[in-house]
Amino acid sequence: MGGRSVHAAELSNITPMSVLKMGTRGSPLALAQSGEMARALERMHPGLQVETVVVKTSGDEFGAPPPAAAKALPQGAKGLWVEEIEQALLDGAIDFAVHSAKDLPAALAAGLEIAAFPERADARDALVARPGYSWNELGPGARVGTSSLRRRLLLTAAKPGVEVVELRGNVDTRLRKLEALEFDAMILAVAGIRRLGRTDVELEPLEPGIMLPAPGQGALALEIRAGDAETASLVGLLDDAPTRSCVEFERGFLAAVGGGCGSPVGAHASLVADGLRLEGFYALEGESAGRRVSGICADPSSRDAFVADLAAQASAR
């Protein structure tokens, strides 16, 4: 697999299907997880070559906008990390794209669909702390780094008095800041650290009852052009039905509360004996605390009505 970095407008037309062009962002995590998908496809389809095409997105170039500016964007702030990749798909410059499912806007660009949600990794957040700190030992005045408003609100609800420090950059950058003692701990996604192969990092996973994950966290989404049956037949073999069911419920909740514009939204679905259990979290703009809701859907065909009801409960004040 060869890699090259280009803007969407510079991408070439698709090649014959013996070579499948895979679009991805260029961050270390994006390359690690897309590489995993490429290797899986090549194992499944002997003779297939997956070419990695790195697409630089507006989010990579300019970062996240303030919430007020994000509201004016068609797909909200999340769209800044996928817009150019989705355009490359629509233009036929790539055949499929690999996204972190939690980075996908609630609504995909018209003409696109998700061909596969591969088996999900650990969906939980985790505390990564310097020696002497653990979740139970975090008390007032402890400095905890995160750039997520969802994590900030859930953290301060669980640990009143902690000082939340704005934390940006990729995982390696964040870990270096922790080593430099710029803060006492930080909250990261378990899946991201593990996909980077950072087995040296000590994690304290936090259960959803404490830190409810973002919708789709831990899952990947393989996006294609709607109606592209040939690519769907190749990529679709990676689809995992339980993962798809759970992530679609979570994304349904995200859409129903109007998330995607910088709003703090959490959602985690799990299969249980009597159906699918969904936990949700949502805070209105400017709130210092949000509302958590949960329910069990016994009939998957009633998903839309079920998530709409939970979203209404989470939004009511």
Instruction: Considering the candidates 103, 125, 184, 228, report the single residue annotated as catalytic.
Output: 103
* DSSP string across 27-82: SHHHHHHHHHHHHHHHHHSTT-EEEEEEE--HHHHH-PPPHHHHTTSTTTGGGGGT
Which of helix, strand or coil describes residue 1? coil
Which of helix, strand or coil describes residue 245? helix
Active site annotation includes 60: no
Task: In whole angstroms, give the CA distance from residue 184 to residue 177.
Answer: 10
On whether the CB atoms of residues 23 and 89 are closer than 8 A, the answer is: yes
The amino acid that residue 59 corresponds to is G
Query: Could you tell me the two tokens for 281?
Result: 């979290």
Task: In whole angstroms, give the CA distance from residue 267 to residue 217.
Answer: 9
Half-sphere exposure of 310 (CA within 13 A, CB side): 29
The amino acid that residue 263 corresponds to is S
The burial of 315, by beta-carbon neighbours within 10 Å (0-12 exposed, 13-18 middle, 19 or more buried), is given as middle
> Which sequence positions are flagged as catalytic?
103
